[in-house]
Chains A and B, each alone.
Chain A
Amino acid sequence: MRIAVPKEHTPLDHRVAMTPQSIKRLASDDVQFVVESGAGLGASFTDDEYREAGAEIVQDPKALFEGADVVAKINSPVKREDGTDEVELIPSGALFLAQMRPHENADALKRLAERGVTSFSMELMPRTTLAQRMDCLSAFSTVAGYMAVIRGAEAGSKFFPMLTTAAGTIPPANVFIIGAGVAGLQAIATARRLGAVVEGFDIRPETKEQVESLGATFVEWEEASDDMQTEGGYAKEVSAEEEEREQQLLADHIAKSDIVVTTALVPGRPAPKLISEEMVKGMRPGSVIVDLAAETGGNCELTVKGEVVERHGVLILGQTDLAASLPVHGSLMYGRIVSVLLQHIMNDEGKIVIDLDEEITSHGYARRKCEVSAMTGTILISVYVFVLAMFVGFEVITKVPPTLHTPLMSGSNAISGISIVGALVIAGMGQGTMFDIIGMVAVIAATINVVGGFMVTDRMLQMFRRDTDTN
């Protein structure tokens, strides 16, 4: 089996899908690795280190992808600077591992599926104990949560810890972490270690224990229900009413914080807006908001995706590269995850076996899921087109003199012979004798309809002359 590891061509992302360490775990006579030259440089893994681990280094992207059974990447396929499209490079029949984000990449997924590539979404792992070792979402959330506090500390204008010095006593910074998922908990832990006074908040009351276990105070909201977790372990989207009450509570705590980190994400949906402009106004100037949900619209109303902005004296960090920062450790974790996953789906002879009845595989198996979502987009557009055309059809004819009833019927009947287009497609597909014959009969029938229809209509209309026409 041949596993290809291309260089990531996503800006600001220096990670690599497989590290020399993870390759060492898997490389054998049956399993060969091909790594694009320079793929690991951003994460400070040299080509030599890869060679030592048993991988082959390839310069030419085409040669890299050629004959690969598995292609492992971090990000979904992109167009490279040299103009080549990774979707086209991945060979038919291969297994493609990456964070596909099916909702955002429906088109790429569909094209991959059409080319016979099986796509596997690394971020769609089930949140079970068994699958934890293959959960890259947790891994990168850890990076993001950590980096959120580091970036926030750097952007802020205060010490984090309390310092009693000859030059006066410095009070500790107040840090408020909203959302106690993997990223949120990591952020709490990081802020605590830097010495700040940390508060954590989540709509799921069962996270209280986790937040407090890290030495933070849990901001409680009396009526928090215990039904706020989805099957997959994510926070549910809350109703408008609940959101309002939640915001009331948040406003007070935000106002007294120096650094606010928001990590509230709802999978597949825009991020909930937790921090309004009013709340930002209530903060002291020089405070910082780090919005980890900037990618999906942000938890703060004023967040600008990918940028740092200052609003009402408050710095709002909307950078989206946090999960991709720390390339060395990000790559190490991801590489490890990929190797564990490959071990999981490989049989004893080193062949990939996709078993859709198995929980882990079926979650990541993105092709099926995404075909559905991609088709839904197409069918919706088709329905739009259909409905609009129906309306045009209703409007196009209003008054018809009785003499024209039959010619008009005949003319529109000829137009309904448009099914000739479909018949041509079927007859031209070359899919076997049976389809050729069905197609040809359809073409004959439709052509009779079209040719006969228009000619008969013309004959009828030729007869239809008023006296003025002869004058």
Chain B
Amino acid sequence: METRVLFMQLAYLVSAVLFILGLKRLSHPDTARAGNRLAAIGMLLAVVATLVGEQIITWQWIVAGVLIGTVIGGFMARFVKMTAMPQMVGLFNGFGGLASGLVAAAEYLRYSMGVAGTADVPLDASISIMLGTLIGAVTFSGSLIAFGKLQGVVTEKAVKFPGQQFLNAVLFLGILAVMAYLVVMTPAAIEGADTGTVNIVYYALWGAAMLLGVLLVIPIGGADMPVVVSLLNSYSGLAASAAGFVLNNNVLIISGALVGASGLILTRIMCKAMNRSLANVIFGSFGQVAGKELVKGEKRTMADVNDVQADDVAMLLAYAKQVVIVPGYGLAVAQAQHKLRELCDNLESRGVNVKYVVHPVAGRMPGHMNVLLAEANVPYNQLYEPEDVNPDIANVDACLVVGANDVVNPAARDEPASDLYGMPIIEVDRAKHTVVMKRSLNPGFAGLDNELFYLRNTMMLFGDAADSIGRILEEVKQL
């Protein structure tokens, strides 16, 4: 192997490792920034390695392209408003998909225009080209629509019309058929030196794939766009992988697959945090708030709640700025106050601001919670009343509801028909995230179902409170 090719391959390997380490670190708050930089170094290395190792004949296009891209990308990244970040990511993602698609297109045209100098289009190459084109084009147009929706250029509302799913399915099948046609017919067309038709069909494939990308994203409401962007990000990884298959380039395959897979996992995690299933996302029936889809009075089950584990909760709490604890009768039953105190102390030592909010009617006797918390030596200055916390509760990163139920039931605020209507509550449903620790979904003292449990930002941690807190504590200590 030539030295520079050897260098290129080794550099690619290092790049791939840096990407893996970068992603790993990006998923942890303390190391995220370093992770991002590692990945950026990996990218730089991959680019340099390519320029050294590949037989670059013309430089002017590369230099021009890199300069223009750097200026545009840097400008957009530098001056975008923080609130506009999600759509910016969507837009960047679209460009990535476009690049992958164009790589596939260039390879296709190289064959079909006879530049490659052979009619032997290997089957794997032509299949990779078709997949790269499809995924790249879908990612490109889909991301543009996602960007438009978040930016307000395209309507944020879910655009739905009858037969939409059917149309998408037909379009998708049609695209597959066109891809198969091109795989079969292109070599013959090259041999016969008559590639006019296949070229036109190939351009049509681009058009159809872009249309599919648009159709897949328009029925989705603006609120769900981040999930869509994440999913499209996963697609653009796969598009890069397909480009890697086309060019027989391992770093493309590896990094693309990495992003494809981790993007999918991240999408799933994001769905879970929104109390949605991935299938729900992929098949596009989303766009409305999950909780509101349910008919009033309908019996809801475990399937409707976002059931989490102690480690999820630990992650949420440990990296929050503001945590609110809402103790209830369940805390007393489980005698979990000491453990709760220990957990909160630990969180405070990590820099988390912890407030205990005691509802006047929490527990089975007046002052029940105070007795418990005093026993665990919780300082009085950490105890708050609902009206102290409610106005700012939207800024609370995490509410931990320990065995309380009626005192956090939004029906008391929203449902005039409810027996609880009018009772002041701790409005944990308005916080960014709420974790409810409970033994089951059974109603509380008032015998009423609690809407809170089914909301998208609510996580349910089932089990005995002392047990659960103990497990969360263990997990937090390990972070």
Contact = CB atoms under 8 A, between A and B. Distances in A.
Interface of A: 368, 371-372, 375-376, 378-379, 382, 385-387, 389-394, 396-432, 434-464, 466-469, 471
A248 to B, nearest CB: 44
Given A399-B27, A403-B397, A446-B69, A412 B98 contact: no
A385 B47 contact: no
Contact of B122 (A371, A410, A419, A427): A371
A415 B243 contact: no
Nearest to A405: B270
Contacts of A416: 93, 96, 233, 236-237, 239-240, 255-256, 259, 263
Contacts of B123: 372, 375
A442 to B, nearest CB: 4
Nearest to B90: A413
Contact of B40 (A422, A438, A443, A454): A454
Contacts of B37: 458
Given A368-B120, A425-B249, A443-B62, A456 B92 contact: yes
B254 interface: yes
B96 A401 contact: no
B109 A438 contact: yes
A446 B2 CA distance: 28
B137 interface: no
B246 interface: yes
B123 to A, nearest CB: 8
Interface in B296-352: 311-312, 315-316, 318-321, 350-352
B129 to A, nearest CB: 12
B78 interface: yes
A404 B43 contact: no
Contacts of A422: 99-100, 103, 240, 243-244, 246-247, 249, 252
Given A407-B26, A419-B103, A429-B57, A466 B257 contact: no
A285 to B, nearest CB: 51
Contact of B77 (A408, A451, A471): A451
A392 B33 contact: no
B160 interface: no
Q: Classify chain B: how many residues form its interface, as a range.
A: 35 or more
B106 A417 contact: no
A410 to B, nearest CB: 5
Contact of A458 (B33, B47, B229, B350): B33
Name the residue in B74, B85, B123, B246 with the highest tally of chain A Cβ atoms < 10 Å from its Cβ: B85
Contact of B351 (A412, A450, A466): A466
B124 interface: yes
B265 A397 contact: yes
B96 A425 contact: no
A378 B66 CA distance: 30
B124 A443 contact: no
A412 B19 CA distance: 9
B266 A405 contact: yes
B4 interface: no
Name the residue in B40, B58, B99, B253 with the highest tally of chain A Cβ atoms < 10 Å from its Cβ: B99
A423 B99 contact: yes
B260 interface: yes
B258 A393 contact: yes
B269 A400 contact: yes
Contacts of B70: 447, 451
A400 B25 CA distance: 10
Contacts of B353: 467
Contacts of A408: 23, 26-27, 32, 266
Nearest to A394: B261
B22 A446 contact: no
B32 A430 contact: no
B261 A392 contact: yes
23 contacts: A386-B241, A386-B254, A399-B312, A403-B397, A405-B230, A408-B23, A408-B26, A408-B27, A413-B89, A413-B93, A414-B92, A415-B19, A421-B249, A428-B62, A431-B115, A448-B73, A448-B76, A449-B73, A453-B96, A454-B40, A464-B32, A466-B321, A467-B351
B169 to A, nearest CB: 26
B236 A460 contact: no
Contacts of A444: 65, 68-69, 72
Contacts of A398: 27, 265
B270 to A, nearest CB: 5
Contact of A379 (B124, B226, B236, B266): B124
Interface in B406-450: 432-433
A93 to B, nearest CB: 12
Interface stretch (B48-56, B209-217, B357-365): B48-56
Given A399-B315, A428-B57, A445 B122 contact: no
Name the residue in A372, A427, A439, A466 with the highest tally of chain B Cβ atoms < 10 Å from its Cβ: A427
B85 A406 contact: yes
Interface in B2-19: 16, 19
Contact of A413 (B96, B120, B273): B96
A429 B57 CA distance: 6
B20 A392 contact: yes
Closest 4 CB pairs of A and B: A447-B69, A393-B261, A443-B65, A468-B351
B32 A404 contact: yes
A416 to B, nearest CB: 4
B245 interface: yes
A438 B319 CA distance: 45
Contacts of A393: 23, 237, 257-265
Contacts of B42: 415
A378 B249 CA distance: 11
A252 B110 CA distance: 63
A381 to B, nearest CB: 9
A434 to B, nearest CB: 7
Contacts of A386: 241, 244-245, 253-254, 257
Nearest to A367: B120
Given A385-B257, A400-B315, A419-B239, 6 more contacts: A402-B432, A406-B85, A409-B230, A416-B96, A430-B57, A434-B109
B88 A406 contact: no
B148 interface: no
Given A405-B266, A435-B115, A445-B98, A425 B240 contact: no
A409 to B, nearest CB: 5
